Homo-oligomer: A and B are copies of this chain.
């Protein structure tokens, strides 16, 4: 076993990197296609519904969502517009701070989310988690270090 310098990269590490990129693309393709095909939702839209459904009173500020949804604030503005047009969410001004607007889950949005959630969870299991097997703990540990706090 050759000690691994901190600066160079081993073949195994490089393979892991390439597998990481491929795995990401593959899984997201599947999940996007399933969600889109069966429920007419993009992954971003699903995530917005997910976070809102878990939030107290089913409402969140734009900024709170932007931090979690992996979308920039400006992207979220347009995403929220589309979802509001579709009736999945509604915009509510915040009385305490008139700069902020809340996004709240509508009844239709909740219904759509509840219909889509099993599809998504099954997809994550089928295309990602199911392959982890005995390596689950190690993968979780490594990815958590990479993902940061």
Cβ–Cβ < 8 Å partners of A146 in chain B: 19, 23, 26-27, 127-128, 131
- Is the C-beta of A147 less than 8 angstroms from some C-beta in chain B? yes
Tell me the bound Cα distance from A4 to B44 in angstroms.
28
Say what secondary structure dominates the interface of chain A. helix
- Is the C-beta of A129 less than 8 angstroms from some C-beta in chain B? yes
Q: From residue 1 to 39 of chain A, which have CB atoms closer than 8 A to chain B?
A: 6-10, 12-27
Q: Interface residue tally of chain A, by bracket?
A: 35 or more
Q: Are B125 and A13 in contact (CB under 8 A)?
A: yes
Contact status of A19 and B131, CB under 8 A, knowing A25-B70, A121-B9: no
Having A19-B147, A131-B142, A138-B139, one finds 7 other A-B pairs with CB under 8 Å, namely A13-B132, A15-B144, A20-B24, A23-B143, A26-B148, A133-B142, A133-B145
